[in-house]
Structure 1
Amino acid sequence: MYELGVEQINCNGKLIDLPSLEVVRPAPKMPSDANIDWLLHIYFTRREFTRCRRLIERELNRHLNPEYLYFVQGLIDREEGNNIDALRHLQKSVELNPRNIETYKEIGRTLYLMGRFGQALGVFREAEQRSSIKDHEIYHYLGELLYRAATTQTLSELARQQQDESRSYFELAVQTGRKQESYVRLAELYRKDKQYQKAIEVLENCLHLTPENSEVLIEISVLYLKINETQKAHDRLAEVVSIERKCSPKGLLAFGAILQSRNDVDGALSKYSQIANAEPEIAELWNNIGLCFFKKQKFIVAISSLRKSVWLSPLNYNALYNLSLIYIALCLRKLDDMENAFVALERASSMSVGLQGGGRNPLVVLNFALFCYETGRLAMATEQYNRFMSQAQDLLLPTEYKFQATKLKSLLRISSQGNGILLDPLDSEESDLGHSRTTDLPPDELPLEVNAVVSQK
C-alpha cells in the first residue's frame, strides 16, 4: 500500500517504509567569474578551433580577464591565414597585459609571416628588453631578421654590422636553447666568413640533437672539403649513405668532388650523371663535369659542359675562370698566340685580388708565374711566384699546387730569402715543365665549385 506518496510493504503483519531512490542532481552551472583558460587551452592544442570560437564568444563579455581569450583567438586567426585579424586580437591581448612576453613573440612571428620584417625586428627587440630571462626564440628571430636585413642592405659597412650582430644573436640562441635552425644558420654565417672550422664545430654540436640528419652530415662533409680534409668528408658522406639509400644531389656532388680530387674521374662522372638525371639545372654540376672531361682530354665536351654552367649561372666565377683556362690552353697557345695568352693571364692575375670575397685565388697567380717562366719573362715569373707565396701562406692548398710551386722555385733558383733569381739560359732548356704548361696544373686541381650547393636559400 502507499501512503502520502511513500512506498510501503506489509512484511509479517508490519508496514515497512521503503527507502526512496536518490535522484542524481544536475551539474552546477559555472559561475560567471570562473576561469576557463584551461579548457580553451585543451581545445586549442587539439586544434578544435570551432569549439574554441564558441567558447571565446560565450565567455568574452563576462570573463574577468579576457587576455588569454584574445591571445588564443589571434593564434587561431593566424592558423587560418587571417593575419590582420590575428594582429588585432594579439594587440588587444598585449594591451591587457604588457608584461606577457609570449604575446610579443606571437605578434613578431605574425609580422614575420606577413613579410613586415622591419616591424617584426622592432617587436622582437622590445620583447628582448622586457624579458627577464634569456629566451632562445627571441635570439633566433633577432638573428634571422638581422641576417635578412644584411642581405638586402646596400651599404656594405652597415651590412657587415648587421651580419655581425646577427651572428652574435645566433650564438646566444645555441647557448640558451636547442633549436636546430639556429645551429644551421650560425654555421652558414661562419662559412660565409670563411671560418670553416668553426662552422664544422657548430654542426657537429647540432648532430647531438639530430644524429641522423643527412642534410647536416652533407654540410659537414662539404666544409671538410673546403679545408682539404677529404677523408673526413668521405666518412661523413658514408654515414649519409648508410642512413639513406638514395643520396641527395648535394651529397652526390660532394662525393663526386672527393673522387675527382683523388683523380678518380670515371667514379666522379658516375656520381655526376646521377645528379644530371634527377636535377640537371645545377651550375656547379656542369662545372665539375667539364673539368672531368678536360682531364680525359675530351675538350669539346669539356667546353660544352662549362658553357652550360655559365649559361645556368652567368656570374659563376669558377666556371668562367675554368672555361677561360681551357680556351687559353686550346686556342691561344695552340695558335702560338703567346702575346694574347700573356695579356689574358696578366689580366686574370690582376683581377684575382678583388674576387671571391677574401680576394685571393693563388691558382691564377701560379698559372701566370708558370707561363712567364716558359716565355722567358723570368723577373715577372719571380714576382708572380712571390705573390703566390704571400697569398697562399695561410691557406690549405692541394698538394699539387705546392708541388708545382716547389718545382718553379727550383727552376728560378729563388733563395730562401726571396732575393731574386739565379737562372742561366740552360735551365730553361732542361726544365721538365716543358713548353706547354700555361695551365699545367692538372685539370682536376682547378677550382671545384661545391659550395653553392649547400647555401641554397
Structure 2
Amino acid sequence: MLEQCSNQSEYAFYMRGMIARAEGELEDALSWFNKALAISANSTVYLVNIGRVYFLMGNHTLAVEYLEKAVKGNPNDSKAYYWLARSIYHLDTDLFNTCEKARDLLLQAPSLQTSVELIVFLAKLMSELGDTNAAIQAYERALQLLAMTLLISRYYRSILTYETLLVILFPKFKSILAAGSIMQAHGDHDVALNKYRVAADACDYNGCLWNNIGVCLFAKGRLAQAHSCLKKASFICPLDYKINYNLGLVHQAMGLYCSALHFLKAASELKKDDAQIIGAMAVVLSNMNDINNARRAYQKSISMDPKAQVILNYAIFEFRQKNRDVARDALTHFKTVSSNAGGCRKVSGVQNLKQ
C-alpha cells in the first residue's frame, strides 16, 4: 500500500503504527504515527496514539504533552481524556498530587457521564483518595451505562459496542475469577486453580487471572510455573505494581536476588511509598549483604506502616548484625504491634522467609 501511494498514504502510516503497537514494537509505532501526523498535523487521532505509545514506553512527561494537545484540539475525545489522566497519574513528581490532578481532569471531561472507561478510572482514583462514597457512586453509574447499552443492543443488534460485548461475554468469567480469588484467600489453592482453569477458557488474555494463577502456584512451591504465569501477567499488564511485586517474591524464593530487587523497585516506582514493598526490598537487600541499604529500607517501612512481620524480620536482621540492643527493642515493638493486631498471622510471602 505504501509503495502504491508513494509513501504518502496517511491511512497506511496509521495502520502500520497500530500493527507495530499491537506487536510491542513501540519505537516503530512512534515512527509511523509521527509520519501520519506530518501529513495531517491537525489530527487529534495521531496525537492520542503518539501519547499512548509514550505512555507504554514509560515516558509519561511526553505522553502528557501530546495528549494535552489532543484534548485541546478535540475536547470531546474521551480517549484523549482517559489516556491523559492515566499519564498524569503515573507522573513522577512532588510538585502536585498526581491522583488528585488526574481526578480533576476527568471531572472536566465533557463525555464523563457517557463514557464507562472514564467513569471506572475516576472511581479508582476516588477510591485511592479515600472518597469511598464517590467511588461507589461512580461504579454504580458505570453499571447503569452498561445496562443501558445492553438494552439498546437488544433492539439494534447491528450496533453492538465493545462495552456490550464485555457485558455479554464476561459476566461468567468475572464471577469465576472472583470465586477463585475467595478460595485462594482461604488457602484452598487447588480449588482456586480449578476455577482459574475454567476462567482461562473464557478469557486467557487477562493480567489479573495469570497473576492469581502465579500466586497459587507460588504458594504450592511450584516456582518455575509461578514465574511463567507471572511473566505472562506482566506482559499483559506491565504497569500493575502487584504483578511486579509478586515477581519480586518469586525471584527472591528462587535465590535470584538481583532480579527480585529489579521487580520490587519497579513495583515501588508504580506505587510510591508502599511499606510492604519497601519491607520486601529490605529482605532482598539483606540477602545481598547490602547491610546499610537493608537497614534503611527496614526503618523506612516500619516508620511508614509498622507491620508485625516487617518488625520481626528487622529484629532478626539486627540480631545477625550483633546489634543485640536494637534487636531487643525491635522484638519488643513486634510484640506490641502483634498483640494490638490480635496476634501475628502467618502470611505467605518474601517477608516471612527465613533470612
TM-score range with shorter-chain normalisation? 0.5 to 0.7
* Partner residue of 1:284 out of 200, 205, 208: 208
Structure 1 position 143 matched with structure 2 position 42: no
Contact 1:385 1:405 survives alignment (8 Å): no
Amino acid across the alignment from 1:348: A
Q: Cα RMSD between the aligned structures? A: 5.8
Relative to structure 1, is the Cα distance of residues 190 and 272 closer, same or farther in structure 2, using a 3 angstrom cutoff? Answer: farther
Which amino acid in the other structure matches residue 72 of structure 2?
L
Equivalence for 2:350: 439
CA contact (8 A) 2:245 2:267 kept: no
Check whether the contact 1:139–1:169 (CA below 8 A) recurs between aligned residues. Answer: no
- C-alpha contact (below 8 Å) 2:126/2:135 kept by paired residues: yes
Q: Which has the larger radius of gyration?
A: 1
Measured in 2, the distance between the counterparts of 1:314 and 1:145 equals: 20
Q: Deviations over 1:65-108 (max 9, x none)?
A: xxxxxxxxxxxxxxxxxx959x8xxxxxxxxxxxxxxxxxxxxx
What do residues 177-222 of structure 1 show as CA deviations (whole Å, max 9, x unaligned)?
A: 323233223223324426333333333444x536353333333344
Match runs of 1:403-414 below 5 Å:
403-404=307-308, 407=311
Q: Is the 8 A contact 1:256 1:272 kept in 2?
A: no
The one-letter code of the counterpart of 2:115 is N
SS at match of 2:326: coil
Question: What TM-score, normalized to structure 1?
Answer: 0.43
> Which residue is 2:18 aligned to?
none
Q: Call closer, same or farther: CA 1:436–1:233 in 2, change over 3 Å.
A: closer
Q: Which amino acid aligns with 1:189?
A: S
How far apart are the structure 1 equivalents of 2:120 and 2:168? 10
- 1:67 aligned partner: none
Structure with more contact order per residue of length (Cα contacts < 8 Å, sep ≥ 6): 1
Report what 1:185 is aligned to.
83
Preserved CA contact (<8 Å) 1:178 1:209: yes
Q: Deviations over 1:410-446 (max 9, x none)?
A: 969x9xxxxx99426596599557999873479xxxx
1:4 corresponds to which residue? none
Name the CA shift for 1:424/1:320 in 2 (closer, same or farther; >3 Å): closer
Q: 1:122 to 1:410 in 2, by over 3 A?
A: closer
Mapped partners of 1:353, 1:186: distance in 2: 25
1:198 aligns with 101
Q: Write the distance in 2 (CA, Å) between the matches of 1:240 and 1:264.
A: 30
Are the equivalent residues in 2 in contact too, given 1:349–1:368 (CA < 8 A)? yes
For residues 246-274 of structure 1, the C-alpha deviation after alignment (integer angstroms, 9 at most, x for no partner) is 37759949x959x87xx6889x9999677
SS of equivalent to 1:211: helix
1:163 paired with 2:163, answer: no
Q: Which letter maps to 2:84? A: L
Aligned residue for 1:215?
117
1:147/1:196 Cα in 2 relative to 1: closer, same or farther (>3 Å)? same
Change (3 A) 1:185 1:408: same
TM-score under structure 2 normalisation?
Answer: 0.52
Instruction: Read off the aligned partner of 1:439 and give its amino acid letter.
Output: V
Q: Aligned equivalents of 1:368 and 1:180: distance in 2?
A: 39
Q: Which amino acid aligns with 2:48?
A: E
User: Identity rate of aligned residues, in percent?
Assistant: 16
Q: Contact 1:240/1:247 (CA < 8 Å) preserved in 2? A: no
Q: Is the 8 A contact 2:252 2:284 kept in 1?
A: no
Runs of 5+ consecutive residues of structure 1 not aligned to the other structure: 1-82, 88-109, 126-137, 332-340, 394-400, 415-419, 443-457
Find the aligned partners of 1:348 and 1:380 in 2 and give their Cα distance: 15
Q: State the one-letter code of the partner of 2:37.
A: L
Contact 1:200–1:223 under 8 Å retained in 2: yes
Cα separation, 2, equivalents of 1:365 and 1:406: 10
- 1:96-175 matches, within 5 Å, as 111-112=10-11, 114-115=13-14, 117-125=33-41, 138=42, 140-141=44-45, 143-144=47-48, 146-147=50-51, 150=54, 162-173=62-73
Does the Cα contact within 8 Å between 2:309 and 2:351 map onto a contact in 1?
A: no
Task: Give the structure with the larger helix fraction.
Answer: 2
State the alpha-carbon separation in 2 of the partners of residues 214 and 117 from structure 1. Answer: 27
Tell me the secondary structure at the aligned position of residue 350 of structure 2: coil
